[in-house]
Amino acid sequence: EHLTIVFVGKLVQNKGVEELVEATSRLVKDFPALRLRMIGRGKDNMIDQLRNKARELGALELLEFPGYMDQVALVEEFSRAHIFAAPSYYEGGPGFVYLEAMACGLPVVGCSGSGVDEVVTSGKIGFLVPPKDVNALHEALRKLLSDSKMMSEMGDSARQYVVQEADSSICIKRLESFYSSVVDSQTKIKN
pLDDT at 16 over 90: yes
What H or E segment, with its residue span, contains residue 5? Answer: strand 4-8
Task: Evaluate if residue 148 carries a pLDDT over 80.
Answer: yes
Q: Vertex 69, ends 67 and 72: CA angle to 5°?
A: 155
Q: Does the pLDDT of residue 191 top 80, yes or no?
A: no
The pLDDT value given to residue 140: 98
Cα–Cα distance, 191 to 187 (Å, whole number): 6
Condensed to tens digits (0 to 9), the pLDDT of residues 42-100 reads 888 999 999 999 999 999 899 999 999 998 999 999 999 999 999 999 988 778 899 99
The Cα 63–Cα 47 span in angstroms is 10
Q: What share of the chain is helix, strand, coil (3-state, %, to 5)?
A: 55, 15, 30
Mean per-residue pLDDT of the chain: 91
pLDDT of residue 174: 65
Any idea what the Cα angle at residue 92 is, between residues 89 and 96, rounded to 5°? 105
CA dihedral 156, 159, 164, 167 (to 10 degrees): -170
Backbone angles phi, psi at 161, to 5 degrees: -60, -45
Q: What dihedral angle (degrees, nearest 10) is formed by the CA atoms of 138, 139, 141, 143?
A: 160
Q: CB-based contacts of 151: which residues, under 8 Å, 6+ apart?
A: 82, 83, 107, 144, 145
Verdict on whether the full-model pTM lies above 0.85 = yes
Q: Is the dihedral of CA 36, 38, 42, 44 positive or negative?
A: positive
In this prediction, residue 171 has a pLDDT band, given cuts at 50, 70 and 90, of low
